[in-house]
Chain A
Amino acid sequence: MAAATPGMKRFYGLLGAVAIVGIGLLGWQLSRPATVSIPANVAIQPGDTAGFNGYVKGDSSAPVEITEYADYQCPFCQTFATLQMPTIEERLIKTGKLRWRYKDFPLQQHSYSRLAAHSAACAADQGKFWPQHEKLYEGQAEWAESHDAAPIFRKYAEANGLDLARYDACMSSHAHAGRIEASYQEAMRVGVNSTPTLLVGGRLYTGRLDSDAITRLVDSLAPKTTSAR
């Protein structure tokens, strides 16, 4: 093979320089530990859902159960969580009338939904699901339009007293990506197509249900001995 001309040598030098810069930039991106995202196309493993059926709040013997399918980045879910849930909790959950089951339904159009759901799942590993869940909804306006939500979620985890080393390891390993995807697929199977959707007594309720409507619903479903005041 003939020797390369000086022009070709310069070209190969330029190509090599671009390759080094490109590899360096990708390496720099890969080395940033605080920034994670949760893949949606995970293969669900049996272990992802073993012993897990949503995040539950309330008495296990409560006569009525509501399953909520929600998305942390959905504005209606945020309003429901921050305005209606405190009343529902005081009036129905703490009084033993209702058991609440929360399941993730991260909508595709929301870029941080899965990341937020994963943050809550990692908090659940340390027994802090509900505090993290509340922080995520309360802070939605702070992170939904941010350039990078991961550090904000980490800040919430720190405020909730989580072991950050365990939290970081959980987030960066996508430990619960399969669980979230399983929850999403389950919601699709039962017919959920918007958030929040409530599953009560085998029926789906969508729209802007408030705490009064839910109280009436629970009272109508509960045995008379339980609903009588």
Chain B
Amino acid sequence: MIYRMGAAFLSLVGLFVSAYLYLYKIGRIGSLACGSGGCETVQLSSWSRVLGVEVSLIGVIGYALLLGVALVALQPGAENRRGPMRLFTLLAAAGVLFTAYLTSLELFVIHAICRWCVGSAVIIVSIFVLALMAQRMPGPQAG
């Protein structure tokens, strides 16, 4: 159960990180607390959109989905159903792959590193690891 809780907790943190970056991208937040110009360079690059959609918005939607599924998987009645955790793990795996693609763009194409993006990468990888561990453990017990 602790792994599911951790995954839900990190999904919420990731949701706020993505929301922060999205609000910056749409001009609602003036500057990112970044410590270098890397965040702006990445966020203002042409690679900050995928198929016309802001990457940070994809992050908001992805983390919101992860949080929603994690909360469902935490319900006392869900401990014996593998469906929610399988879906959660699948979503987390997609997030890891997407993050790997974005990080490679930062390193090899944009040549700038956004610390918030690195933070999000750490979060999604941690979520994926927790999801794998939760798959091996029994779910929450009813009180």
Q: Is B104 part of the binding interface, using a Cβ–Cβ cutoff of 8 Å?
A: no
Q: What does the 1/0 interface line of A164-197 toward B look like (CB < 8 Å)?
A: 0000000000100100000000000000000000
Which of A31-39, A51-59, A79-87, A208-216 is near enough to bind chain B? A31-39
A40 touches B44 (CB 8 A): yes
B30 touches A35 (CB 8 A): yes
16 A-B contacts, Cβ less than 8 Å apart? A8-B76, A8-B143, A11-B8, A15-B12, A18-B12, A22-B16, A26-B16, A26-B20, A30-B29, A32-B30, A35-B30, A35-B31, A36-B30, A38-B27, A111-B44, A150-B30
Chain B contacts for A3, CB-based, 8 A = 76, 142-143
Q: What does the 1/0 interface line of B12-46 toward A look like (CB < 8 Å)?
A: 11011001100111111111000001001100111
Q: Is A14 part of the binding interface, using a Cβ–Cβ cutoff of 8 Å?
A: yes
State whether A8 and B44 are in contact (beta carbons under 8 Å apart), knowing that A30-B23, A37-B29, A174-B27 are contacts in the complex: no
Q: How many residues from A make CB contacts under 8 Å with B?
A: 37
Q: Once bound together, how far apart are the Cα atoms of A30 and B45, in whole Å?
A: 23
Q: Is A207 part of the binding interface, using a Cβ–Cβ cutoff of 8 Å?
A: no
Q: Once bound together, how far apart are the Cα atoms of A150 and B13, in whole Å?
A: 28
Residue among B12, B30, B41, B54 with most chain A CB within 10 A: B30
Q: Is B116 part of the binding interface, using a Cβ–Cβ cutoff of 8 Å?
A: no
Closest B residue, CB atoms, query A113: B44
B9 touches A15 (CB 8 A): yes
